[in-house]
Amino acid sequence: MLITANNPKIKSWLDVPNNSDFPIQNIPFGVFITKDDVITIGTRIGDYAIDLGALQQLNYFEGIELTDDMFMQDTLNDFISDGKKTWRLVRNRISEIFESTNPLLRDNTDHKEIIVCKMKDVEMQLPVLIGDYTDFYSSKEHATNVGKMFRDAENPLLDNWLHIPVGYHGRSSSIIPSGIPIHRPMGQMLPNGETTPVFGASRSIDFELEMGFITTDVNIMGENIPVHQAEDYIFGMVLLNDWSARDIQKWEYIPLGPFLAKNFATSISPWIVTMDALEPFRTKGPKQNPNPLPYLQQNGKHTFDINLEVIIKPENGEATLVSNSNFKYLYWSMSQQLAHHTSNGCRVNSGDLMGSGTISGPTPSNYGSMLELSWGGKNPIVLKDGTERKFINDNDTVIIKGYCKKNEVRIGFGEVANKLLPPFVRK
Amino acid sequence: MLITANNPKIKSWLDVPNNSDFPIQNIPFGVFITKDDVITIGTRIGDYAIDLGALQQLNYFEGIELTDDMFMQDTLNDFISDGKKTWRLVRNRISEIFESTNPLLRDNTDHKEIIVCKMKDVEMQLPVLIGDYTDFYSSKEHATNVGKMFRDAENPLLDNWLHIPVGYHGRSSSIIPSGIPIHRPMGQMLPNGETTPVFGASRSIDFELEMGFITTDVNIMGENIPVHQAEDYIFGMVLLNDWSARDIQKWEYIPLGPFLAKNFATSISPWIVTMDALEPFRTKGPKQNPNPLPYLQQNGKHTFDINLEVIIKPENGEATLVSNSNFKYLYWSMSQQLAHHTSNGCRVNSGDLMGSGTISGPTPSNYGSMLELSWGGKNPIVLKDGTERKFINDNDTVIIKGYCKKNEVRIGFGEVANKLLPPFVRK
């Protein structure tokens, strides 16, 4: 089936600002609350939020097999369960409806009033009910930097890293959308040079520049998905900030991995950009050496050229770009991650989230965490307002942005932006 | 409010076999499918399954504030959300209804036919939708044994172990009830003495004797629950088998913890025994030295005297008891685990599951895993049929049982029993 929605020549009858992340070629999926306090599934064109529930009720999806209330739900899980063919039919249909020469909705003022909202009037929600959240560790540069800092500068990569897309389970209950502020966590830490731990507010709150992908129902328990089929089960991608408390992490993580250092907050951008929309930006990943085991081997273009930026905005100061990276730097592809994840029969469901791990690149300006940017706090970075940062300060907002660009078409993710508040105090 | 349901003198008008885990003093909660293919919430007395949905429809809960369909659901999450007062009112009411001198239901043949099923006619389901699953590592004996085998025999406990109830995130999607068979997982492993990993069927499948507790809604994100309040948020307990593939685990777990070695299956017993039912078996835990940090300090009796057994049943062989242990051996209490888990503001919801970690005791017969029982495969154990086991063989069934006993009252958990099938083969 053709992805007609990707036609770069199409324009929408809705106004799309220059350099918008959301031209008519994007058509991401999300969930929002309208100004009438109705929760609905929607998409976005320019600075307009489109109510897909209303669009369905008014019969604009006629001819596509959908349950009656498919878009009148508060999560995308059921739609995602319907599979790739349905996703593509719906995305193509939305493209037709909003294409500049199509008068159907364009000239129906009553319908437009019901269907088209302004982004500033809606409140974005988490797009899916996330049953399980897995976070990988797939940037060779990031794993190398961490290894240099904490283990062996000469031999920074652990033995398994080049053979396994290393990953661990995160906590679904702490995943929040962009815009929700978080508290600096309290926790147990071992101060440098001490032998007895203390309990207090973390002093080294970090971001991790990541992206995440959302799956459809992949398998039944016990079955695996081969690497060459894995992409069919990926619905789309979001930006992800894997907030981390480095001092808590350092003390707790041996031998079972990060726990309270991570599960106080993970934030994601609210619009899921589909793999279909990202198709034109497909590219080759880094050469893998040694060759992975057969169940992880793949040829061709299995990653995507997605520019990434991290910005720190102090409470009353100017925003500063502190990192720019690219999704394509990752060593392990999403299909390798998913094939590995199901290689033991682990069940993966619709709405599950898989994080990439911190996406660092080859040069220091590409590093995806303060840990790496300030090299463990040794080299503070200076913001535009003249203040220094080893880690994130109270009332700083961390903003991650991401976009693809090719032949004048820009497909973006918007942003995930969250403010760090001081620790919670019980009243 | 009195826990009248715990009165040891009460007998039920339903027949309860000698030594049953489910006398009228137990009243656990679960979910089952009846022979008419209806899913309902229920309880159990002796070998009878009681349909609480039917009991509610027939007005037996009059006077207790419950939503109309509270027990006509396929999970206990909403009931658990209602909190401790409601749990106790319902349990006391069930106790009254089934008490031997109460003719109300006893003498109503029509109602009894609708409400009372035989256990052999129902199919037990997972009792809750588990949003997040955390597994702790709270047995000092287990952590010490593992440390001796894999790290430093002289200094087996890691530095953080006596200060932190160490835990990690497990995978909710792979949690299954007793009775569901599982496949031996495939995975990546590093054969002894080799430097290149291989992919194949795990050769060291293990059980881990654990218990788990189910929480109600504990907090909003960012807030913590103090240790002295934590027990109020625990609904009840189940038996848990944290199936593990030791060869996969050994190769993958550094630095982010166990992943595919664990997420192929975790099984639980289907009846949640309430903390109210366990109240008479409250006891003191081991002395904690060094004294934990203030946010983890508690005095008094915060654990429970629960006898535990592991049995291996080969396909055509006799069942052999391979381990007996006790929940009270655990170093960290459930309230300490929950206080620690929320100390950073991590949100904990109704239906979340927290595993104890392998429960080993002071003597080798108390060890809670094959890894410890066979000491890393060095000392195979001999089953009653004469066959040896270093780990679990294909077609073995692993059965975990648990019960408390005091003053002639026995409160039990039934069992979690799952068969290990050969690896899944794609057709």
Does residue A209 share a domain with residue A116?
no
The percentage of residues in chain B with a pLDDT greater than 90, rounded to a whole number, is 97
Evaluate whether residue B275 is within a structural domain.
yes
How much is the pLDDT for B264? 98
Q: Percent of chain B scored above 70 by pLDDT?
A: 100
Are B169 and B134 within 8 A, CB to CB?
A: yes
Domain's final residue, options B97, B124, B151: B124
pLDDT exceeds 90 at position B187: yes
> Complex ipTM, two decimals?
0.97
- Chain A CB contacts of B137 below 8 Å: 256
Q: Can you tell me the mean pLDDT for A381-388?
A: 97
- How much is the pLDDT for A1? 81
Q: What are the angstrom distances between the C-alpha of B402 and each of A411, A423, B325? A: 57, 41, 9
- CB–CB contact A169 B171 (8 Å): yes
Q: Of B67, B96, B124, which residue is a domain's last?
A: B124
Q: How far A372 CA sits from the closest chain B CA (Å)?
A: 18
- Asked if B256's CB is within 8 angstroms of A167's CB, the reply is yes
Helix (H) or strand (E) holding B215: strand B209-215
Q: Is B201 exposed, middle or buried (0-12, 13-18, 19+ CB in 10 A)?
A: middle
Rg (CA), chain B: 22
Output the domain CATH number for residue A239. 3.90.850.10
Which residues of chain A are within 8 Å of residue B252 when distances are taken between CB atoms? 160, 164, 166
Q: B395: closest CA among B368, B418, B373?
A: B418
pLDDT of residue B49: 98
Residue pair B252/B269 in contact (Cβ under 8 Å)? The answer is no
Interatomic CA distance for residues A113 and A199, integer angstroms: 54
Asked if A361 reaches chain B (Cβ–Cβ under 8 Å), the answer is no
The answer to whether B162 touches B290, Cβ cutoff 8 Å, is: yes
- The verdict on whether residue B336 carries a ligand-binding annotation is no
Mean pLDDT of B11-32: 98
Please say if the pLDDT value at position B150 is more than 90: no
- Asked if pLDDT for residue B110 goes beyond 80, the answer is yes
Could you check whether the bond before residue B290 is cis, i.e. omega within 30 degrees of 0?
Answer: yes
Same-domain status, A159 and A108: no
Question: How many domains are contained in chain A?
Answer: 2
Residue A427 lies in a domain: no
Q: Do A251 and B160 touch (CB under 8 A)?
A: yes
Q: How many CB atoms lie within 10 A of CB A343?
A: 23
A234 with A350, same domain?
A: yes
Asked if B379 and B370 touch (Cβ cutoff 8 Å), the reply is no
Residue A301 lies in a domain: yes
What length is written for chain B?
427
Mean pLDDT of B151-164: 94
- What is the C-alpha separation between B168 and A260, in angstroms, rounded? 9
Q: Is the pLDDT of residue B105 over 90?
A: yes
Instruction: Tell me, yes or no, if A257 comes closer than 8 A to chain B by beta carbon.
Output: yes
Residue A181 has pLDDT above 80, yes or no: yes
Are B151 and B113 within one domain? no
Beta carbons of A132 and B172 less than 8 Å apart:
yes
Same domain membership, residue A256 and residue A153: yes
Q: Which band of pLDDT confidence, cut at 50, 70 and 90, is reported for residue A54?
A: very high
Average pLDDT in the A357-375 region?
98
Q: State yes or no: is A142 an active-site residue.
A: yes
Mean pLDDT, rounded, of chain A = 97
Are residues A220 and A89 both part of a single domain?
no
Q: What is the pLDDT of residue B151?
A: 86
Count of C-beta atoms within a 10 Å radius of residue A361 = 22
Top-confidence range, A267-271, A315-319, B220-224: A267-271
Average pLDDT over residues A154-175: 97
Residue B375 in contact with partner chain A when CB distance is under 8 A: no
**Average pLDDT of the segment spanning B15-37:** 97
Distance in angstroms (rounded) separating the CA atoms of residues A24 and A48: 11
Query: Within a domain: residue B221?
Result: yes
Same domain? For B76 and B165 the reply is no
**Is B248 part of the contact surface with chain A (CB cutoff 8 Å)?**
yes
Q: How confident is the model at residue A352 (pLDDT cuts 50, 70, 90)?
A: very high
pLDDT in tens, B314-358: 999 999 999 999 999 999 999 999 999 999 999 999 999 999 999
* Residue position matching structure tokens 């590219």: A283
Of residues A111, A142, A302, A341, which has the active-site annotation? A142
Residues of chain B with Cβ-Cβ distance to A137 below 8 Å are: 256
Q: Are residues A113 and A143 in the same domain?
A: no
Residues B12 and B45 sit within 8 Å (Cβ to Cβ): yes
Q: Whole-prediction pTM value?
A: 0.97
**Cβ-based contacts of A228 with chain B (< 8 Å):** none
Residue B425 pLDDT = 82
pLDDT at B94 over 90: yes
pLDDT of residue A18: 94
Specify if B426 maps to a domain.
no
pLDDT for position B407: 86
Name the minimum distance, in Å, from the CA of A228 to any CA of chain B.
15
Q: Which domain holds residue A38?
A: 4-124
Contacts of A426 in chain B (CB under 8 A): 223-224
Check whether residue A192 and residue A321 sit in a common domain: yes
Interface of A with B in 97-136 (CB under 8 A): 131-132, 134
Give the CATH number, domain containing residue A100. Answer: 2.30.30.230
What residue of A is the nearest CA neighbor of B180? A221
Domain end residue (candidates: B124, B151, B185): B124
Q: What is the mean pLDDT of chain B?
A: 97
Q: pLDDT for A100-132, tens place per residue?
A: 999 999 999 999 999 999 999 999 999 999 999
Q: Is A137 annotated as a binding residue?
A: yes
CA distance A204 to A241: 15
Measured between alpha carbons, how far is A258 from A125 in angstroms, rounded to an integer?
Answer: 27
pLDDT band for position B252 (cuts 50, 70, 90) = very high
**B174 closest CB neighbour out of A198, A248, A346:** A346
**B196 and B222 share a domain?**
yes
Query: Which residues of chain A from 148 to 187 reach within 8 Å of chain B, CB to CB?
Result: 158-160, 163-164, 166-174, 176, 182-183, 185-187
Interval B195-218 mean pLDDT: 97
Instruction: Inspect the interface and report whether the beta carbons of A197 and B172 lie closer than 8 Å.
Output: no
Quick check: B245 and A163 CB within 8 A? Answer: no
Are residues B264 and B384 located together in one domain of the fold? Answer: yes
Burial A311-339 (b: 16+ CB within 10 A, else e): bbbbeeeeebebbbbbbbbbbbbbbbbbb
Instruction: Say if residue A427's pLDDT is above 80.
Output: no
| Band of pLDDT at residue B1, cut at 50, 70 and 90 | confident
| Rounded Cα distance, A45 and A31, in Å | 14
B202 pLDDT above the threshold of 90? yes
- pLDDT by residue (tens digit) across A239-296? 999 999 999 999 999 999 999 999 999 999 999 999 999 999 999 999 999 999 999 9
> For residue A259, which residues of chain B lie inside 8 Å, CB to CB?
134, 166-169
Residues A85 and A218 in one domain: no
The answer, yes or no, to whether residue A49 has pLDDT greater than 90, is yes
